[in-house]
Amino acid sequence: MTDSHVIERSALHVLSPLPYAEDALEPIISARTIGFHYGKHHRGYVDALNKLIAGTEFADLSLAKLIAETAGKADRIALFNNAAQTWNHTFYWHSLRSKGGGEPPVALKQRIEASFGSLDACKKELATAATTQFGSGWAWLVLEAEKLRVVKTGNAETPLTKGVKPLLAIDVWEHAYYLDYQNRRADYVSAVLDKLINWGFASENLG
Ligand SMILES: [Fe+2]
């Protein structure tokens, strides 16, 4: 291995470690699903991203900068898709936790009640966004100005580029649930909201 190869490698994006064991989300999301989703899909986006940026003016940009620079640019779609999917997936893993769901921390719960009326109404809106996203995409809880909102995005699109602050993400690409739930996306979404969603992470993101 030459020195220049070592230097080149230091600029590569890395697959963020999964914040728990692959079987930690069972029985809601199986270790098999996580194995494919994290080990193949997420890793695939990171690998593709590194190939696309090699030797280009994008090679030294941070992931967030890369996403901002390529968003909405027709000639940079592959780069944007792989960069945004790299970011979205890391954010999704942290949006879930073993024994999640339940009650959000007090300050977050108050913000949820101020924005949606109740925690149930917020969960319902997230479930509706997740189940009505046509085809592949994401449902998000975001902070816009001082208000919490639910938004959905298609394919690799991310709220990062839309002037809002992401708080939580639910992946609704089929690869996120098909092995465990087949076509029953609504069952996956409601189980995630009741048993896995990481309100503590949303609270940290609120700042
Ligand atoms: Fe995914």
**How far is the centre of ligand 1, averaged over its atoms, from the C-alpha of 45 (Å)?**
10
Do the beta carbons of residue 43 and residue 15 sit within 8 Å?
yes
**How far is the centre of ligand 1, averaged over its atoms, from the C-alpha of 37 (Å)?**
6
Tell me the pLDDT tens digit for each residue of 88-118: 999 999 999 999 999 999 999 999 999 999 9
**How far is the centre of ligand 1, averaged over its atoms, from the C-alpha of 69 (Å)?**
22
Residue 54 φ then ψ, to 5°: -55, 125
pLDDT for residue 7: 42
pTM across the whole model: 0.94
pLDDT for residue 5: 46
C-alpha distance from residue 4 to each of 11, 46, 59, 184 (Å): 11, 21, 14, 49
**How far is the centre of ligand 1, averaged over its atoms, from the C-alpha of 163 (Å)?**
23
**How far is the centre of ligand 1, averaged over its atoms, from the C-alpha of 88 (Å)?**
8
